[in-house]
A and B are shown apart, each in its own frame.
Chain A
C-alpha cells in the first residue's frame, strides 16, 4: 500500500532559485538561508521518498488569466521548467508517477473535490525551488531523486480556496494515496509564504510573530489554524502571505498528532520571510532511524 510518511512546509522564493543557479549560496546574504536546509537535505536522504506530492502555486506562468483553476492536478508524464521571463531554471525535468496521479485524480473527484486535470503543464519556481532546497543542486541533465505529483492551487486571484477546504483536501489526498496498492513512500510538500507582500505601497511587510505562531500551531492546533480567515493572512502576513493556505493541504494529509523534527526561519530572502518545517507521522520516525 502507498503511504504518507511525512510532510514538509517550505517557502518557494524565486530569488533562492536564482542564488542556487548562479552559485552564490555562500555569500553573506544567502548563507543563513541555506544553512537551515543542510539538516533537511540529510533528512531527505533518510526519508528517500518514492514520490513527492507537491502543493504549490503557479505565478502566472503556465496559467494565464484565461483559465484560473482553483485546484489543478498534474497528470502529464513530465513537466518542464518554464521560462518565467529570464529563461528556464537549469534544473531537471520533473517526472510524474502518472498512474498514481490518475488514481488520485479519480479518487478526489469521487470524494467530492472537483479538481482540474492537467495533461500538459510547465512548472515554475513555485515547484522547482522547494525541490532544489530539499535536494540540493541538480543540473538539467540530471534527475530528481523522486517522482513528483504537482498540485497547483490558485492563490493569485482572490479568493484562494479556504484553509479549511485545503485541510480537508489533504485528508482526501491521503485517502487516495492509501487506496493505491503499490508499495510507495510518499512525502507531501506544502509550499509558499511565509509573510510577504510584493505589491503596492505596503510592499515589504514581514510579520515574524505571526509566522512563528503559524509554525507552532501546525503541530499544536492544525484544525484551528486551518480556519484562519483570508483577511487575517492579507492584513497580518501581507497580500502574498495568503499562499500559506497551501500548507494546510500538507497538514491535512498527516496524522492528527505529528512530531516536528526540524524548523528554519530567516528574514529576508528578497521580499520574503523564509519558513520551513518538517513534520513526521508517528508510524514513520524517519529522523530516529
Chain B
C-alpha cells in the first residue's frame, strides 16, 4: 500500500509496520526507564541484550549507538531516547546527532527559529543536495 507520508525528507514515520519490526528493540529501550534495569544493562550490555529477541542488525545498532539506524530498523524516538538518556544524552543533543549537524550547530539553529519548512517538505527538494 502506498503511504502518503513517505515523500517527506529526513523523516521516518513510526507506523504499524515499523511497530511490528521494532517491537523487541523498543521493549528493550523502554526497560531502561527503570534504574534497576539501567544498572544491569550498564554492568553487562551483552547479557542484558540476550533477553530481547532483536535482529542482529538491531543489536549491532544498539552496540554502535547508531541513532538513525535504530529508527530505520523499527525504533521509535520516544523509545530510543531512553537508551540515549542512559548514556547521558538529552533530547536536544540526540537531535543534534541525528541531523548530522552536531550538538552546537543544532542548538544554534533552534535559537535562530529552527529548521524552516521551505525546502524541507518533499524528498525531491533534498535530492541532489546530497541529503536524504
Task: Rank and list the top 6 A-B pairs by shortest CB-CB distance, nearest first.
Answer: A206-B114, A202-B10, A201-B10, A85-B85, A199-B77, A203-B95
Check if A206 sits within 8 Å of B115, measured CB to CB. yes
List CB contacts (< 8 Å) of B15-35 with chain A.
Answer: 15-16, 19, 22-23, 26-27, 29-30, 32-35
Is A117's beta carbon under 8 Å from chain B? no
- 24 residue pairs of the A-B complex, CB under 8 angstroms, read A61-B33, A65-B26, A65-B79, A84-B33, A85-B82, A156-B14, A156-B76, A157-B15, A157-B16, A158-B16, A198-B77, A200-B12, A201-B68, A201-B98, A204-B106, A204-B109, A205-B114, A206-B113, A206-B115, A235-B121, A236-B121, A239-B11, A239-B12, A273-B114
- Which B residues are in CB contact (< 8 Å) with A205? 114-115, 117, 120
Shortest distance in angstroms between B75's beta carbon and chain A's nearest beta carbon? 9
- Which A residues are in CB contact (< 8 Å) with B121? 235-236
Is A230's beta carbon under 8 Å from chain B? yes
Sample of 8 more A-B contacts, CB < 8 Å, known A199-B95, A270-B90: A85-B33, A201-B11, A202-B115, A204-B114, A231-B5, A234-B13, A239-B8, A267-B110
- Which residue of A is nearest B72, CB measured? A200
Is B99's beta carbon under 8 Å from chain A? yes
List CB contacts (< 8 Å) of B91-118 with chain A.
Answer: 91-92, 94-95, 98-100, 106, 109-111, 113-117
Shortest distance in angstroms between B105's beta carbon and chain A's nearest beta carbon? 10
Which of B95, B100, B131 contacts A271 (CB under 8 A)?
A: B95
Check if A59 sits within 8 Å of B78, measured CB to CB. yes
Residues of A within 8 A of B (CB): 14-15, 59-61, 64-66, 68, 82-86, 156-159, 195, 197-210, 230-231, 234-236, 239-240, 267-268, 270-271, 273
A128 to B22, CA, bound (A): 29
- Which B residues are in CB contact (< 8 Å) with A200? 10-12, 68, 71, 98
A85 to B30, CA, bound (A): 9
Check if B27 sits within 8 Å of A66, measured CB to CB. yes
A200 to B8, CA, bound (A): 11
Check if A234 sits within 8 Å of B82, measured CB to CB. no
Check if B92 sits within 8 Å of A270, measured CB to CB. yes
A240 to B68, CA, bound (A): 16
- Which B residues are in CB contact (< 8 Å) with A15? 90-92
